[in-house]
Amino acid sequence: MFALPSASRAIAGRMAVSARVPALGTMHVRNLNLHEYQSQNLMKDWGVSVPKSVVVENVDDVLNACKQIGTPKMVIKTQVHAGGRGKGTLSSGLQGGVHVIDSADRAQELAKQMLGYKLKTKQTQGDGVMVNKLMIAEGVDVVAECYFAILLDRATNGPVMVASAEGGMDIEEVAHSRPDAIFKEFIDINHGPTDAQLENLAKGLNFEGDSKTQSKEVMNNLYKMFIGVDSTQVEINPMCKLSDGRVMCVDAKIGFDDNAEFRQADIFAQRDTAEEDPREVEASKYDLNFVGMDGNIGCMVNGAGLAMATMDIIQLHGGKPANFLDLGGGVTESSVGQAFKILTADPKVKGILVNIFGGIVDCGLVARGIIAAANNLGINIPITIRLKGTNEEEAQKLISNCGLKLTMLEDLDEAAINAVKSA
Ligand code: GDP
Ligand code: MN
């Protein structure tokens, strides 16, 4: 799925191409998004200092949460899967999804204007995302805000630490207008960061004395976490120097490698689907990858490469894809049925193009799945099918003899033209 843009994207985009976060490559990947409070709990487990916090879902719980925090200054923060909250706007009219406060009354007042409203930020789409959770945290006395991230670098085939002394809410602007204020250290994945590298980073971030030692420890522990949890991206903005000399991570965004789901069960169990596209959530239950778009042709494909090619060719012939649904490798008749159900549930879909390459996948099985789905669901939109590879002759026979209005074409151009014309 398209990942939400993050500051690290803007920053990586300003760096050498080599360090760019893959854009198209992530299209078929379901990225796990954690909330800030979940990321902070994880960081705490790895010995990284974060502010004490409590999560609430109801205004009635705010008072109690403030008592638990018990500091004179507190911060109230919307928990959504998007950055830029500080400068965002709520649909209640409230400016800012992050506020520093000095009383529980104020916390309640703000919670009333946050919970149940949508937050719109630079990183959200449409009219924003619904706020269902708030974090109330100890308010720390910040004297400097830095940016620190660990990303994966293509050219060096390994992690890269990216840092800037000018962190905080304007980091995208810094990345854009003063890219030299951002520096990096490439990490040897077999050895982790050297002391000299951590020293360079800490100095570049203007940490001195005990704060410098602490910041090195924070960065080193973040790196251990990055490796230990199969992370693909850790972004801390801001990593703060406090007035008492402590170094603390005040905000966090952590991305995970979906292929590691089997060994990071605890982390993936924290997935909050409330903000995700319900069609995508439904698809993922059947190991299907769904990506929604604006057009009117539903695409059923196998493999991300074929998905791109299919979308390109639809556009070449003047059409627009409504979505694409990637069946992946382990296709069964019933997963084809589920795929059709998801594709046709969208009223915008006026036609379907199936483009499957049968390598491991048996075209006969796909054909039977399509016919069963078309019968069961009573699909009355035009369906164009291109099945190539293993058992395509059987598939052709099944489709010709099924008595349904299915068009099977061998040539991808012809199939795309047919799908565009008939939709
Ligand atoms: P974002 O806007 O979504 O990136 O949300 P952040 O969690 O980064 O919060 C936005 C800004 O609020 C930070 O850049 C800080 O300047 C400020 N902030 C957050 N927590 C604290 C805190 O405990 N104390 C102080 N003084 N400022 C904070
Ligand atoms: Mn931030």
Distance from the CA of 13 to the center of ligand 1, in angstroms?
24
Domain of residue 94, CATH code: 3.30.1490.20
Q: How far apart are CA 238 and CA 165, in angstroms?
A: 10
Q: How far apart are CA 218 and CA 202, in angstroms?
A: 10
Range of the domain at 173: 33-41+141-275
Q: Looking at 75-79, 287-291, 365-369, which range is the least confident one? A: 287-291
Q: Count other C-beta atoms under 10 Å from residue 86's C-beta.
A: 16
CB neighbour class for 376 (10 Å; exposed up to 12, middle 13-18, buried from 19): exposed
Same-domain pairing of 268 and 191: yes
Mean pLDDT of 330-341: 87
**Does residue 4 lie in a domain region?**
no
134 and 60 in contact (C-beta within 8 Å)?
no
**Does residue 24 lie in a domain region?**
no
Q: How far apart are CA 235 and CA 80, in angstroms?
A: 16
Is 220 known as a binding-site position? no
CB neighbour class for 125 (10 Å; exposed up to 12, middle 13-18, buried from 19): exposed
Same-domain pairing of 253 and 337: no
Same-domain pairing of 120 and 158: no
**Residue 255 CB–ligand 1 contact under 6 Å:** no
CB neighbour class for 343 (10 Å; exposed up to 12, middle 13-18, buried from 19): buried
**Does residue 9 lie in a domain region?**
no
Place of tokens 């990225």: 31
Is 302 known as a binding-site position? yes
**Residue 309 CB–ligand 1 contact under 6 Å:** no
Catalytic site positions: 147, 235
Same-domain pairing of 261 and 156: yes
Q: Give the ligand with the smallest distance to the CA of 51.
A: 1
Mean pLDDT of 274-282: 80
Tell which of 93, 119, 139 closes a domain: 139
Distance from the CA of 198 to the center of ligand 2, in angstroms?
22
351 and 383 in contact (C-beta within 8 Å)?
yes
Neighbouring-strand partners of residue 130: 118
241's tokens: 């120097």
Check residue 11 and give its pLDDT.
Answer: 59
Give residue-wise pLDDT tens across range 354-385: 999 988 889 999 999 999 998 988 888 999 99
pLDDT at 18 over 50: no
Neighbouring-strand partners of residue 123: none
Same-domain pairing of 285 and 182: no
**Residue 250 CB–ligand 1 contact under 6 Å:** yes
**Does residue 16 lie in a domain region?**
no
Tell which of 104, 139, 174 closes a domain: 139
Same-domain pairing of 263 and 337: no
Same-domain pairing of 285 and 417: yes
Same-domain pairing of 344 and 222: no
Residue with the smallest CA separation from ligand 1 atom 15 is 168
Same-domain pairing of 99 and 172: no
Same-domain pairing of 416 and 285: yes
**Does residue 11 lie in a domain region?**
no
Place of tokens 């800012």: 96
Q: How far apart are CA 86 and CA 77, in angstroms?
A: 8
Is 127 known as a binding-site position? no
Give residue-wise pLDDT tens across range 97-132: 999 999 999 999 999 999 999 999 998 878 899 999
Same-domain pairing of 293 and 228: no
User: Sign of dihedral through CA atoms 337, 339, 343, 346?
Assistant: positive
**Does residue 205 lie in a domain region?**
yes
Going by their DSSP bridges, the two strands 118-120 and 89-90 should be labelled as antiparallel
Give residues with Cβ within 8 angstroms of 126, minimum separation 6: none
Same-domain pairing of 176 and 238: yes
Q: How far apart are CA 88 and CA 163, in angstroms?
A: 24
Q: What is the DSSP string of 320-339?
A: -EEEEEE--SS--HHHHHHH
